[in-house]
Chain A
Amino acid sequence: MRADIGIYILWRIAHSIPLIIGVSIIGFAIMHLAPGGPLAVYTLNPTITVTDIERIRVALGLDQPIHIQYLTWAKAMLTGTWGFTFFGGRPVLEVILERLPATLILMGSAMSLAIIIGTLIGMLGAVRRNSIFDYLATTGAMFALSFPTFWFGLMAIYLFAIELRWLPSGGMYELGEEGNPLDLLRHLVLPVTVLALVLVATWSRYARSSFLDVIQQDFIRTARAKGASSGRILFRHAFPNALIPLVALLGVQLPTLFSGALVTETVFSWPGMGRLFVDALNMKEYPILMGMIMFTAFFVIIGNLLADIVVALIDPRVKLG
């Protein structure tokens, strides 16, 4: 344990605060300065008069100057409700947390699967460099990175749900099966595969180059000269060292993971945060959209922070500060 790690963590947290404020200002500005606004939906409805719209505007506080609106919103953020939804008036945080488990299950499964498979592919590719396996793996990763996620999802639905009827085409549970883990598993197979595909591709590329870097270093040659078996060299010597840059990568990959989850959830009607975001967008629900942006930003910033702290803890070479 390093003595200065506490100061390092505090310093990093202090550095994250301006980021959070920046995200909130940019998000707020985009939504509130854009033409149309949240009440544009009502202008299309002939039964709602101009005075009605004006009344709703006042009721929702949208008649206030933008900086007052921002401060009102920021206060709601700090007091823990994160504001209230336009339709229904529920606390935004509650609405988001309701959708969180579904997304966490999806992202967590995809991420774990991708890390295991991606690391193995990358490791084998690095060890058997320029072999047929390496060639196929790197080319395959390129292919996987070029698929539009939603198209791959649609193709998977067509093949496995419509033609072969092996798996359900969407949703999280069959009607009446809520909470049944086996049913959940059946529903998870397709979306997790689709979401994991891109992650495996990225991850295996990084793992390969990380392992390549490590196995060309002197201490590996030393281990080999001492007569260590190739398995021992790989798992005891190379593995922990190659993993360090990959931990840092975990944090960096989070925004991509969220983007992928949004699209995957839409394709598979998965009742998670991505769907919530798309629905809120269609309804012009500013408070939910702002809440979602803040939530993902927190997630990304904390993820990066944790990754950096873990790297600092396990790698004594990292300079703190």
Chain B
Amino acid sequence: MTAQNNPVIAEPTGGNSYLQLVTQRFLTHRLAVLGAVTVVLLCASALLAGVLAPHDPMLLDTSKRFMPPFVSWTHPLGTDELGRDTLSRLLYGGQVSLTVGLVAMITTMITGTVVGLVAGFYGGWIDSLLMRLVDTLLCFPQVFLLLVVAAFVPPTILSISLIIGLTSWMEIARIVRAQSFSLKEMDFMQASRGLGASNWRMMYVELLPNIIAPVLVAATLKVATAVLMESYISYLGYGVQPPLASWGNMLTNAQGYFDTEPFLAILPGALITLTVMGFNFLGDGLRDAVDSRLKIDT
């Protein structure tokens, strides 16, 4: 258990665990709590899309094209150019956008953490090589890199998530590397080496739990970026393909009827903004809560 304790931070007195302190800090941050509530609500509505949606999101009904919002109970948010129910499409589109955001974030976390840990733990030429790779990838504007890959890979929800994840792990790798560098010479690492722990065990069982906090914070912010990126590439036509709805491709669609039906474009954009903002506020609050740990302890 001693190895699991964060060596930088003395165990706070008064029986409060580190986690409780972080939670307390977090709860005083009103916007962060608002962000958390938004994220929970959006995730719940996406999960329950099958129950909440009044219609099949792909059901065409050309007799009911371009119904305005807020006038009928059967189509509360109106219909699009093919008579599909907007509310249902928004709910299912949310499922797609959030799935992409989460899967991309997990891909980013795993890749970034593994690269950062290996570079920081082994050092030497392995570190130089991996960090030059990171530098090189950071020379690409992310949207460029993303589009080039997306244009050549058949677009599915999984492939898009992986592409986004694999083009955005570099910052995480830098954070993890810097942390492992400073921690690997600590006593608890020496102790586990003395006890004969394997490199694998030292990296993932001893080192990782001590650097996970900043990674989790960065990960929350990464969901926000991933949702934005999905909307960008779907908007440019290389993301989720119609008839499957995503907030990004609903916007592209709506652009064609923009002068007469602005509402079709306002709604998906507003939901993207809300989601991104929710995760951003959540991540910012978490960072403040985690960062100020030293201040609380002293």
- The answer to whether A binds B is yes
Q: Which residues does A use to contact B, with CB under 8 Å?
A: 18-19, 22-23, 26-27, 30-31, 34-36, 139, 142-143, 145-151, 154-155, 157-158, 162, 255-256, 258-259, 262-263, 266, 277-278, 281-282, 284, 289, 292-293, 296-297, 300-301
List, sorted by A's number, 12 A–B pairs whose CB atoms are closer than 8 Å: A26-B136, A145-B280, A147-B276, A148-B269, A151-B272, A154-B251, A154-B265, A158-B265, A255-B140, A256-B141, A256-B142, A281-B147
**Bound form: Cα–Cα A162–B261 in Å:** 12
Of the listed stretches B66-74, B77-85, B148-156, name the one at the interface; the rest are far from the partner chain. B148-156
In the complex, the answer to whether A146 meets B277 with C-beta atoms within 8 Å is yes
The verdict on B281 contacting chain A, using a C-beta distance below 8 Å, is yes
With A139-B31, A258-B144 known as contacts, the answer to whether A31 contacts B152 (CB < 8 A) is yes
**Bound form: Cα–Cα A290–B274 in Å:** 36
In the complex, the answer to whether A34 meets B251 with C-beta atoms within 8 Å is no
Q: Could you say which residues of chain A place their CB within 8 Å of the CB of B269?
A: 148, 151, 154-155
Give the nearest-CB partner of B276 in chain A: A146
In the complex, the answer to whether A34 meets B144 with C-beta atoms within 8 Å is no
Q: Which of A142, A147, A150, A296 has the most chain B CB within a 10 Å cutoff? A: A150
Distance between A169 CB and nearest chain B CB, rounded to angstroms = 9
In the complex, the answer to whether A259 meets B266 with C-beta atoms within 8 Å is no
Say whether chain B's binding surface is mostly helix, strand, loop, or mixed: helix
**Bound form: Cα–Cα A78–B240 in Å:** 38
The verdict on B26 contacting chain A, using a C-beta distance below 8 Å, is no
In the complex, the answer to whether B141 meets A150 with C-beta atoms within 8 Å is no
In the complex, the answer to whether B136 meets A23 with C-beta atoms within 8 Å is yes
The verdict on B102 contacting chain A, using a C-beta distance below 8 Å, is no
Residue among A22, A34, A146, A262 making CB contact with B224, cutoff 8 Å: A146
**Bound form: Cα–Cα A289–B141 in Å:** 13
Q: Could you say which residues of chain A place their CB within 8 Å of the CB of B272?
A: 148, 151
Contact with A along B188-224 (1 / 0, CB 8 A): 0000000000000000000000000000000000001
Q: Which residues does B use to contact A, with CB under 8 Å?
A: 31, 132-133, 135-144, 147-149, 151-154, 224, 228, 231-232, 235-238, 248, 251, 255, 258-259, 262, 265-266, 269, 272-273, 276-277, 280-281, 284
Say whether chain A's binding surface is mostly helix, strand, loop, or mixed: helix
Distance between B105 CB and nearest chain A CB, rounded to angstroms = 16
Distance between A40 CB and nearest chain B CB, rounded to angstroms = 9
In the complex, the answer to whether A19 meets B136 with C-beta atoms within 8 Å is yes
Distance between A65 CB and nearest chain B CB, rounded to angstroms = 19
**Bound form: Cα–Cα A30–B235 in Å:** 22
Q: Which of B135, B152, B266 has the most chain A CB within a 10 Å cutoff? A: B152
With A35-B152, A36-B152 known as contacts, the answer to whether A22 contacts B284 (CB < 8 A) is no
In the complex, the answer to whether A143 meets B277 with C-beta atoms within 8 Å is yes
Q: Could you say which residues of chain A place their CB within 8 Å of the CB of B273?
A: 143, 146-148, 151
Q: Which 5 A-B pairs have the closest CB atoms?
A: A34-B152, A151-B269, A22-B136, A259-B143, A146-B277
**Bound form: Cα–Cα A314–B266 in Å:** 47
Q: Could you say which residues of chain B place their CB within 8 Å of the CB of A282?
A: 237
In the complex, the answer to whether B232 meets A148 with C-beta atoms within 8 Å is yes
**Bound form: Cα–Cα A297–B137 in Å:** 10
In the complex, the answer to whether A293 meets B144 with C-beta atoms within 8 Å is yes
Distance between B141 CB and nearest chain A CB, rounded to angstroms = 4
**Bound form: Cα–Cα A157–B259 in Å:** 10
Give the nearest-CB partner of B133 in chain A: A22
With A148-B228, A259-B142 known as contacts, the answer to whether A289 contacts B148 (CB < 8 A) is yes
Tally inter-chain residue pairs, CB-CB below 8 A: 129
**Bound form: Cα–Cα A292–B141 in Å:** 11
Distance between B165 CB and nearest chain A CB, rounded to angstroms = 15
Give the nearest-CB partner of A255 in chain B: B141
Q: Which of B140, B235, B269, B276 has the most chain A CB within a 10 Å cutoff? A: B140
Distance between B262 CB and nearest chain A CB, rounded to angstroms = 5
In the complex, the answer to whether A150 meets B251 with C-beta atoms within 8 Å is yes
In the complex, the answer to whether A142 meets B251 with C-beta atoms within 8 Å is no
In the complex, the answer to whether B144 meets A142 with C-beta atoms within 8 Å is no
Give the nearest-CB partner of A260 in chain B: B143
Q: Could you say which residues of chain A place their CB within 8 Å of the CB of B228?
A: 148
**Bound form: Cα–Cα A145–B275 in Å:** 12
In the complex, the answer to whether A162 meets B151 with C-beta atoms within 8 Å is no
**Bound form: Cα–Cα A285–B122 in Å:** 41
Residue among B148, B152, B232 making CB contact with A293, cutoff 8 Å: B148
In the complex, the answer to whether A301 meets B142 with C-beta atoms within 8 Å is no
In the complex, the answer to whether A150 meets B266 with C-beta atoms within 8 Å is no
**Bound form: Cα–Cα A18–B141 in Å:** 18
In the complex, the answer to whether A262 meets B139 with C-beta atoms within 8 Å is no
Distance between B267 CB and nearest chain A CB, rounded to angstroms = 11
**Bound form: Cα–Cα A125–B193 in Å:** 49
In the complex, the answer to whether A277 meets B147 with C-beta atoms within 8 Å is yes
Q: Which of A148, A162, A281 has the most chain B CB within a 10 Å cutoff? A: A148
**Bound form: Cα–Cα A7–B227 in Å:** 44
Give the nearest-CB partner of A145 in chain B: B280
**Bound form: Cα–Cα A270–B152 in Å:** 25
In the complex, the answer to whether A259 meets B141 with C-beta atoms within 8 Å is yes
**Bound form: Cα–Cα A103–B251 in Å:** 25
With A151-B269, A266-B236, A281-B147 known as contacts, the answer to whether A162 contacts B141 (CB < 8 A) is no
Give the nearest-CB partner of B279 in chain A: A146
Q: Could you say which residues of chain A place their CB within 8 Å of the CB of B237?
A: 282
Q: Could you say which residues of chain B place their CB within 8 Å of the CB of A284?
A: 151
